Amino acid sequence: MMAAEAYNKIEFFSGDSIPLEMHKVRMVQRLYLLPIEERLAAMQQAGNNTFLLKNRDVFIDMLTDSGVNAMSEQQYAAMLMADDSYAGSETFFRLQKTLQEIFGKEYFLPTHQGRAAENILANAFVTSGSHTMMNYHFTTTKAHITRLGGTVHEVTTDEVLNVDSTEPFKGNIDLQKLKATIDEVGADKVAFVRIEAGTNLVGGQPVSLQNMREVSQLCRRLGIMVVLDASLLADNLFFIKTREEACREKSIAEIVLEMSQLMDIIYFSARKLGCARGGGILTSSEEHFKKMRTLVTLYEGFLTYGGMSVREMEALAVGMRETLDVHVISQTPLYVEALGKELDKNGVPTVKPWGGLGCHVDATRFVQGIPQDQYPAGALAAAIFITGGIRGMERGTLSEQRNEDGSEHLADMELVRLAVPKRVFTYSQIKYVADRVSWLYENRELIGGLEFEEEPETLRFFLGRLRPIGDWQEKLVAKFKKDMPTGV
């Protein structure tokens, strides 16, 4: 019996709501949990930026799922089959055939990762004075568009910023807002409408297939191109399958194909989708393909590798087929839910309903006394590392770009994302994370703000360095050692 056929016959949780791993561990990596004094020193050396931490100092790495999902034995085996050549590699044609069968798109352009695909798309279709609508921006997507003189419009539903909403598809585009925005700027000025499935910066919230259908119908009437960012598609597919009534009896393969038919272009990061490396762009338009292929050769490499190694391409071909297995794509959503439930027991505020990618802690409610221009989500991310050696990612004002006049562009939400890569963590590690974050919540009055000491002009959250305002980190360490004398 295939996994898609067995969907309704196999439980995802055990009787006491413990998520079931649909795999077994066959290779391990040693982890180290440093004493809290060393964690503090590591955080200070990293400029209170979790991106600048050395991985050897991290115990539980929840920074991202990008490039750190666990590959399957079949993916590793496939890497031995790689046809290593600069041009015309059989490996490329195997990957292309796989993607054609899954998505039904004729043309595939390989890139080295998702932001490389964004660069190609922006250079091909964004011009100064053009407009792009989307269900929410992603940091690099917005940067590529704005650097070329384009404007990003977020046409989200009102529910997306309601952290306690029970709406199952908070990532949907608001059709009325979309139509009004197009009318305002003019359809001829719209570069494309982008759907991110699901939304990265606002809690990994999914988009329904019905919403994609309605957006596509509107845009095709107006002659506007629809682009799907499918980097987080695996999680989104699980939510469509489990939350969208009309899709419960459909296989994952059927949902993907129907979704693809609604899109003019699909791009993705294979560091997320497919549990491999690399990325790419898919389209059935010969015109769009020819417009982008020169840019791939210019920025990425030749058309049959595009910045990927042939071994990565072989692993991706297998990983994409595995994405059609509901018991593969379920692993992150189920563990995010398990972490969310554990935090919820202790009153820790998180974005609900729990989505894909990771569990998102609501820093606005966690550290209520810190103003946004002191980066509450960044401060909370630093405190979580100091408390437990857990590396999360700030998704708030620190991740925004300053306004043209130099003032802060305050984020809609202040979140700390605790990413849950596929097939990486055990349930006991999830429980450990919940325990340390819950302890921190009980002592949240100790957490203070941050200020920049080195601020890059673009994408500052990657490379910026900050310092704590006051001595709150030393006080946090002292309280931790009082409660946990071992310092671990």
Single-letter residue type at 318: V
Q: How many CA atoms lie within 13 A of 211 on its CB side?
A: 27
**Catalytic residue check, 139:** yes
Of 39, 105, 142, 272, the catalytic one is 272
| Other beta carbons within 10 Å of 371 | 11
**Catalytic residue check, 229:** yes
Give kind and range of the element (H or E) at residue 364: helix 363-366
DSSP string covering 119-177: HHHHHHH--TT-EEEESS--HHHHHHHHHTT-EEEE-B-GGGG-TT---TTTT-B-HHH
Q: How many angstroms separate the CA atoms of 285 and 270, rounded?
A: 22
Both structure tokens of 175: 């059709």
* 8-state DSSP, 19: B
Single-letter residue type at 83: D
Of 32, 86, 97, 458, the catalytic one is 86
Q: Do 465 and 52 touch, CB atoms closer than 8 A?
A: yes
Q: How many angstroms separate the CA atoms of 328 and 274, rounded?
A: 10
Q: Helix axis angle, 376-388 relative to 36-45, nearest 10°?
A: 140
Of 7, 12, 125, 138, the catalytic one is 138
Of 229, 235, 264, 362, the catalytic one is 229
Beta bridge partners of 416: 361, 394
Of 105, 115, 241, 395, the catalytic one is 395
Q: Is 266 helix (H, G, I), strand (E, B) or coil?
A: strand
**Catalytic residue check, 86:** yes
Q: Is 353 helix (H, G, I), strand (E, B) or coil?
A: coil
Quick one: which of 190, 188, 239, 186 has its CA closest to 212?
239
Of 50, 139, 323, 397, the catalytic one is 139
Q: Do 350 and 361 touch, CB atoms closer than 8 A?
A: yes
Q: How many angstroms separate the CA atoms of 10 and 212, rounded?
A: 29
DSSP string covering 176-241: HHHHHHHHHH-GGGEEEEEEESSBTTTTSB---HHHHHHHHHHHHHHT--EEEE-TTHHHHHHHHH
- Per-residue CA distances from 115 to 17, 144, 248, 278, 425 (Å): 37, 9, 33, 10, 26
**Catalytic residue check, 461:** yes
Catalytic machinery residues: 86, 138-139, 229, 272, 395, 461
